Structure 1
Amino acid sequence: MTGSTAAPFTADDYRARMRRASRAAADAGLAGLLVAPGPDLVWLTGYAPTAATERLTLLVLAPDREPVLVVPALEAPDAAHAAGAAALTLRDWTDGKDPYALTAGLLGASGHFGISDNAWAMHLLGLQQTLPGTSYASLTQALPMLRAVKDAAELELLAAAGAAADAAFEELRHVPFGGRRESDVAADLAALLRRFGHSQVDFTIVASGPNGADPHHEAGDRVIERGDMVVLDFGGLKDGYGSDTSRTVHVGEPTGEEREVHDLVREAQEAGFRAVRPGVPCQEVDRAARAVIADAGYGEYFIHRTGHGIGVTTHEPPYMIEGEEQPLVPGMCFSVEPGIYLPGRFGVRIEDIVTVTEDGGRRLNNTSREMLIVE
Structure 2
Amino acid sequence: MTGKKRIIVMNYFLKRVNKFQEKIREKELDFSIIFNSRHIYYFTGTSQNSILLIPKEDSPTLFVRRDFVRAKKESQIKDLVNIHSTSEVLKSIDGFKENEYNIGIENNFLRVGLFLYLKKYLPTSNFYDVSSIIREMRMIKDDLELEYVRKSAKVNEEVQTVSREYLKEGITELDLAGEIQKVLTENGSTFSYFDGYWGRTPFIIASGENLWARSDFPPVLSGVGSSPAVPHGPSDREIKKDDIVVVDVASVINGYNSDHSRTYYVGKPSDKFKKIYDILLNARNDGIKNMRAGFKIGDFCQKIIHSIPKEYHDYIQGYHQFREGFGHGIGLCLDELPMLVKNNNRRFKENMLIAFEPKIIIPGWGAVNFEDDFIIKKNGPPEQITNSPI
Where does residue 385 of structure 2 map in the other structure?
Answer: 364
Using the TM superposition, name which of 268-277 and 127-136 deviates more. Answer: 127-136
In the superposition, the TM-score normalised over structure 2's length comes to 0.82
Report if aligned partners of 1:189, 1:204 keep a CA contact under 8 Å in 2.
Answer: no
Question: How far apart are the structure 2 equivalents of 1:289 and 1:106?
Answer: 56
Question: How far apart are the structure 1 equivalents of 2:283 and 2:142?
Answer: 29
Report if aligned partners of 1:281, 1:326 keep a CA contact under 8 Å in 2.
Answer: yes
Question: How far apart are the structure 2 equivalents of 1:264 and 1:239?
Answer: 36
Q: Cα–Cα, structure 1 residues 128 and 9, in superposed 2: closer, same or farther, change >3 Å?
A: farther
Task: Point out which structure has higher relative CO (alpha carbons under 8 A, 6+ apart).
Answer: 1
Could you tell me which of 69, 78, 84 is aligned with 1:94? Answer: 84
Residue identity in the other structure for 1:10: V
Could you tell me which of 40, 52, 68 is aligned with 1:76? Answer: 68
Q: After the TM superposition, which residues 58-207 of structure 1 pair with which residues of structure 2 at under 5 Å, given as runs?
A: 58-72=51-65, 75-83=67-75, 85-88=76-79, 90-94=80-84, 98-99=87-88, 101-102=90-91, 105=94, 108-115=99-106, 117-132=108-123, 133-139=125-131, 141-202=132-193, 203-207=202-206
Report if aligned partners of 1:158, 1:242 keep a CA contact under 8 Å in 2.
Answer: yes
Report if aligned partners of 1:338, 1:351 keep a CA contact under 8 Å in 2.
Answer: yes
Shift of residue 216, structure 1, vs aligned partner: 1.4
Q: Cα–Cα, structure 1 residues 357 and 28, in superposed 2: closer, same or farther, change >3 Å?
A: farther
Question: How far apart are the structure 1 equivalents of 2:94 and 2:111?
Answer: 20
Could you tell me which of 238, 245, 249 is aligned with 1:234? Answer: 249
Q: Cα–Cα, structure 1 residues 43 and 300, in superposed 2: closer, same or farther, change >3 Å?
A: same
Could you tell me which of 347, 350, 374 is aligned with 1:354? Answer: 374
Where does residue 359 of structure 2 map in the other structure?
Answer: 339
Shift of residue 232, structure 1, vs aligned partner: 0.8
In the superposition, the TM-score normalised over structure 1's length comes to 0.85
Which secondary structure does the structure 2 equivalent of 1:280 belong to? coil
Which secondary structure does the structure 2 equivalent of 1:329 belong to? coil
Where does residue 3 of structure 1 map in the other structure?
Answer: none
Report if aligned partners of 2:48, 2:64 keep a CA contact under 8 Å in 1.
Answer: no
Amino-acid identity (%): 21
Which secondary structure does the structure 2 equivalent of 1:33 belong to? strand
Which secondary structure does the structure 2 equivalent of 1:253 belong to? coil
Shift of residue 319, structure 1, vs aligned partner: 1.5
Shift of residue 332, structure 1, vs aligned partner: 0.8
Q: What is the root-mean-square deviation in Å for CA atoms of aligned residues?
A: 2.6
Which secondary structure does the structure 1 equivalent of 2:203 belong to? strand
Which secondary structure does the structure 2 equivalent of 1:164 belong to? helix
Residue identity in the other structure for 2:389: S
Shift of residue 138, structure 1, vs aligned partner: 5.0
Q: Cα–Cα, structure 1 residues 31 and 216, in superposed 2: closer, same or farther, change >3 Å?
A: farther
Residue identity in the other structure for 1:282: I
Which secondary structure does the structure 2 equivalent of 1:180 belong to? coil
Which secondary structure does the structure 2 equivalent of 1:285 belong to? helix
Q: Cα–Cα, structure 1 residues 290 and 103, in superposed 2: closer, same or farther, change >3 Å?
A: farther
Question: How far apart are the structure 2 equivalents of 1:297 and 1:321?
Answer: 18
Shift of residue 331, structure 1, vs aligned partner: 0.9
Structure 1: gaps of 5 or more residues: 1-6, 51-56, 370-375
Report if aligned partners of 1:206, 1:233 keep a CA contact under 8 Å in 2.
Answer: yes
Q: After the TM superposition, which residues 201-216 of structure 1 pair with which residues of structure 2 at under 5 Å, given as runs?
A: 201-202=192-193, 203-214=202-213, 215-216=221-222
Question: How far apart are the structure 2 equivalents of 1:276 and 1:106?
Answer: 51
Which secondary structure does the structure 2 equivalent of 1:358 belong to? coil
Residue identity in the other structure for 1:58: I
Question: How far apart are the structure 2 equivalents of 1:156 and 1:125?
Answer: 40
Report if aligned partners of 1:286, 1:307 keep a CA contact under 8 Å in 2.
Answer: no
